[in-house]
């Protein structure tokens, strides 16, 4: 299985030169450390930063420069800082090429549940609903199963939904999949992970093409 950092490394391979990308809290923010050197990408943090860079070294830490998860970050040349109102105007206006966010559940219809688990502390909805509605492309990063081994890729989400029919691509610690035709389509498997293991740990319909490749990190 992939580590959180390895999932982030695979996410960064999705970046294209000139992209404007929003990174959500958790695994997605780690992708800022792995942007390929040969491309220029503007990373957006919804609290009001466009041009987010990698995590700082100890000597670079600035307590006032934080991402949406309240972690200290750096800013690249050309970055800009603005209010959260302007940030969400960018998102709602469709100016973000794609967003990377975490999830509790995703189903075969492309629905996503990512903002609350009933009975547990809810800090707030955050910007996830705006992001899944406003971004042109959405990538979900998540572990394939929960801590009890239950699948998180399902036939139908059981938790309150964040967005409907919006997810097309998922990167987990086991595989890369797309959502297509009411099923998860396996595209890549993590090194050392078998197709049978992925099938066993996927709760929704899984289509397995003949040309599934091993993930390159």
Q: Are 105 and 152 in contact (CB under 8 A)?
A: yes
Annotated catalytic residue 46: yes
Rounded distance between C-alpha atoms, residue 21 and residue 7, angstroms: 16
Determine phi and psi for 157, rounding to 5 degrees. Answer: -60, 140
H-run or E-run covering 186: strand 184-189
Neighbours of 181 (CB within 10 A): 9
Neighbours of 205 (CB within 10 A): 14
* Pairing mode of beta strands 175-179, 184-189: antiparallel
Q: From the candidates 14, 46, 60, 105, which is the catalytic residue?
A: 46
Residues acting as catalytic residues: 46
């Amino acid at each position: 299985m992939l580590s959180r950092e390895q999932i982030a490394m695979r996410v960064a391979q999705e970046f294209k030169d000139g992209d404007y990308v929003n990174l959500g809290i958790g695994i997605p923010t780690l992708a800022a450390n792995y942007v390929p050197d040969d491309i220029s990408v503007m990373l957006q943090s919804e609290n009001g930063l466009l041009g987010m860079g990698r995590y700082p070294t100890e000597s670079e830490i600035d307590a006032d420069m934080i991402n949406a998860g309240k972690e200290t970050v750096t800013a690249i040349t050309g970055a800009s800082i603005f209010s959260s109102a302007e940030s969400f105007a960018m998102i709602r206006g469709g100016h973000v090429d794609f967003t990377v966010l975490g999830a509790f559940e995703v189903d075969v219809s492309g629905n996503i549940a990512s903002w609350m688990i009933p009975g547990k502390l809810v800090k707030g909805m955050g910007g996830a609903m705006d992001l899944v509605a406003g971004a042109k492309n959405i990538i979900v990063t998540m572990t394939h199963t929960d801590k009890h081994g239950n699948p998180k890729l399902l036939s139908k989400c059981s938790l309150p939904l964040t967005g409907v029919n919006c997810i097309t691509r998922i990167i987990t610690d086991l595989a890369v999949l797309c959502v297509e035709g009411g099923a998860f389509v396996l595209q890549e498997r993590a090194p050392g992970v078998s197709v049978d293991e992925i099938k066993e740990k996927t709760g929704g319909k899984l289509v397995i093409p003949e040309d599934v490749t091993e993930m390159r990190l």
